[in-house]
């Protein structure tokens, strides 16, 4: 099982969103050195929780700051944009980091309806055209012909080159799984987004209906899971508490900055929220490295996942980096990296 990272550039209390972006760059450098397979960044708009609004720009900084780790989007919300423009952006990224770029595509708005309209007044219609947009992006990034009779068939996405971004489909519903299966693409389910609701059905649907493609003769499924490790269980629970508060706020319809552990300790849950928190805590992947690794391995086995992308949010950037270091050691990523070298 491969181990990767999905970073959202979370906004935290007491620090500016700009700092969150810079911390993402530093985390990518660390994960490159630790031996993680890939490092993905997300796209959200008009959010008080997530600073990562332009993954294609952030990936440019990561491309010139890392050496071997794969880099990608999780994902580009394709209905907001022109397929050609997305293909050109990722062809440029591939020129900066040849053979290391992933182009993860999603259909969700990554925002509220008004913001989606501001990004693209035709976003609603574009969402319905998602499969055809995926088809066009696949052709343009790979330098292959578009569909026969396509009105833009004579257009090439530059810069051309011997390598190409690897296209993924990302989602948290059956629709994305079906699109990935139809085009013969790797698929990642956003398990962290809904605590796994619908994951088994989506991944099973993807594997059952997979159509082998030239680049991917067999299905390849990944899951993005929240995980956090610390030296002791008590320390991990303290670091995990801010995310529990953030989730409670999200369920109240408020997308707020991640609080500190002290702020989280003072949070006033309703009885129903406390019950939900305790229920989710019982199965969450946080704790000492061995506990977290065991839960991730069991989840991957249950879902037959080929890869796990770890999502970690911590108020202190040093705690987040330490979590990734502990899990890299637990999964022996350094030994894998040495063997590959």
For the chain, percent helix, then strand, then coil, each to nearest 5? 50, 15, 35
CATH number of the domain residue 249 falls in: 3.20.20.30
**What pLDDT shows up at residue 86?**
98
Tokens standing for residue 134: 């995926």
Count: domains in the chain: 1
H/E element, 101: strand 101-106
The structure tokens listed for 296 are: 């991730």
At residue 191's C-alpha, the angle toward residues 36 and 141, to 5°, is 60
- pLDDT tens for the chain, 341 residues: list them: 899 999 999 999 999 999 999 999 999 999 999 999 999 999 999 999 999 999 999 999 999 999 999 999 998 999 999 999 999 999 999 999 999 999 999 998 777 888 988 999 987 788 889 999 999 999 999 999 999 999 999 999 999 999 999 999 999 999 999 999 999 999 999 999 888 999 999 999 999 999 999 999 999 999 999 999 999 999 999 999 999 999 999 999 999 999 999 999 999 999 999 999 999 998 899 999 999 999 999 999 999 999 999 999 999 999 999 999 999 999 999 876 666 66
Mutual angle of helices 317-330 and 289-303, in 10-degree steps = 70
Q: What is the pTM of this model?
A: 0.95
The pLDDT of residue 184: 98
What per-residue confidence (pLDDT) applies to 145? 95
Specify the pLDDT at position 297: 96
The pLDDT of residue 341:
61
Residues 6+ apart with CB under 8 A from 75: 40, 42, 43, 55, 104, 105, 106, 168, 170
By three-state DSSP, how is residue 298 classified?
Answer: helix
Please say whether the beta carbons of 135 and 69 come within 8 A: no
Which residue in 1, 73, 68, 71 sits closest to 34, CA to CA?
68
Q: DSSP label at 147? A: S
Which residues on adjacent β-strands are paired with residue 226?
311
Q: State the Cα–Cα distance between residues 313 and 249, nearest whole angstrom.
A: 15
Q: Among candidates 228, 261, 321, 326, which has minimal Cα distance to 12? A: 261
Tokens representing residue 151 in the block: 């009105």
DSSP 254-297: ---PBPPHHHHHT----HHHHHHHHHHHTT-EEESHHHHHHHHH
- What range does the domain containing 243 cover? 2-340
Tell me the C-alpha distance between 179 and 203, whole Å. 12
CB contact burial 320-339 (16+ within 10 A = b; e otherwise): bbbbbbbbbbbbebeebbee
Under DSSP, is residue 307 helix (H, G, I), strand (E, B) or coil?
strand
Distance CA 116, CA 109 (A): 6
Sequential DSSP letters for 125-163: HHHHTHHHHHHHHHHHHHT---STT-TTTT--PSSP-S-
**Cβ-based burial of 306 (10 A; exposed 0-12, middle 13-18, buried ≥19):** middle
C-alpha dist (Å) from residue 20 to 24, 254, 259: 6, 19, 14
CA 271 to chain centre: 32
68 vs 37: CA distance, rounded Å? 9
């Amino acid at each position: 099982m491969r181990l990767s990272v999905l970073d959202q550039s979370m906004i935290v209390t007491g620090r500016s969103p700009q700092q969150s972006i810079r911390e993402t760059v530093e985390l990518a450098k660390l994960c490159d050195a630790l031996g993680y397979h890939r490092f993905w960044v997300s796209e959200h708009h008009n959010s008080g929780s997530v600073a990562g609004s332009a993954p294609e720009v952030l990936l440019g900084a990561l491309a010139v700051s890392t050496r071997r780790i794969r880099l990608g989007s999780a994902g580009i919300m394709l209905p907001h944009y022109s397929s050609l423009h997305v293909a050109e952006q990722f062809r440029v990224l591939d020129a900066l980091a040849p053979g290391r770029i992933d182009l993860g595509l999603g259909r969700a708005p990554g925002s509220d309806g008004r913001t989606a309209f501001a990004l693209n007044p035709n976003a609603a219609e574009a969402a319905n055209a998602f499969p055809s947009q995926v088809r066009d992006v696949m052709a343009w990034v790979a330098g292959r012909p578009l569909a026969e009779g396509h009105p833009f068939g004579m257009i090439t996405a530059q810069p051309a080159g011997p390598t190409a971004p690897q296209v993924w489909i990302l989602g948290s519903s059956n629709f994305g799984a079906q699109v990935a299966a139809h085009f013969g693409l790797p698929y990642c389910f956003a398990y962290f987004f809904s605590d796994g609701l619908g994951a088994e059905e989506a991944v099973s649907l993807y594997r059952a209906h997979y159509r082998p493609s030239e680049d991917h003769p067999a299905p390849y499924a990944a899951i993005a899971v929240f995980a956090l490790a610390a030296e002791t269980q008590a320390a991990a629970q303290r670091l995990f508490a801010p995310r529990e508060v953030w989730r409670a706020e999200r369920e109240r319809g408020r997308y707020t900055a991640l609080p500190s552990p002290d702020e989280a300790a003072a949070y006033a849950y309703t009885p129903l929220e406390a019950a939900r928190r305790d229920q989710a805590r019982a199965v969450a992947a946080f704790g000492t490295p061995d506990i977290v690794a065991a839960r991730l391995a069991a989840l991957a086995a249950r879902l037959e996942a080929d890869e796990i992308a770890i999502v970690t949010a911590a108020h202190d950037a040093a705690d987040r980096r330490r979590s990734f270091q502990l899990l890299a050691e637990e999964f022996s990523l350094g030994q894998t990296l040495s063997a590959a070298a």
